[in-house]
Homo-oligomer: A and B are copies of this chain.
Amino acid sequence: MNISRASDYAIRGLVYMAKKPAGAVCFVKDIAKNTNSPASFMSKIFQTLAKSGLVHSFIGTKGGFTFNARPEDITIKMVVEIIDGPIVLNRCVVNKSSCRNVGNCDVHFMWLDIQKMLTKALSSYSIADFAADKKGNMLPEAVQ
């Protein structure tokens, strides 16, 4: 009943990126250092984010990552589901055949309801919401 380290790193990494000027190319090494996460792990996480289309990757010297979507359009739910997979509170919610209780037991509907509430909450936050102090970091020396 928690998000993974990987999702947490992904969110923090994207927030770090969102604090940079729009279009800035970010290196995994920097992202990892500034989010206190293992660089090689963060590298893999950003590969997944790139595959999903959320960010764009550039290979080679001076390569790195840029946003492929606006931070305000990237919800926490999107990030968590890209990294951890679909949010499914209980097996029976997603797979009706695995829930013998559909139709004669309320457990199914409880999990469905709570899951809806949870995903709605996760959808109500965007990466941009946590980069609000962006202006404060936009001083030339902070932009680098």
Chain B residues, CB < 8 A from A104:
133
What is the chain B residue whose CB lies nearest that of A133?
A: B104
A2 touching B89, Cβ below 8 Å: yes
B107 touching A1, Cβ below 8 Å: no
A contact residues, total (Cβ < 8 Å): 35
Per-residue CB contact flags for chain A residues 1-18 toward chain B (1 = under 8 Å, else 0) read 111010010011001000
B-binding residues in A (CB < 8 A): 1-3, 5, 8, 11-12, 15, 36, 76, 80, 84, 87-92, 100, 104-107, 110, 113-114, 117-118, 121-122, 125, 129-130, 132-133
List of 9 A-B pairs having minimum Cβ-Cβ separation, nearest first: A114-B121, A1-B87, A106-B130, A2-B89, A110-B125, A107-B130, A3-B90, A2-B88, A8-B90
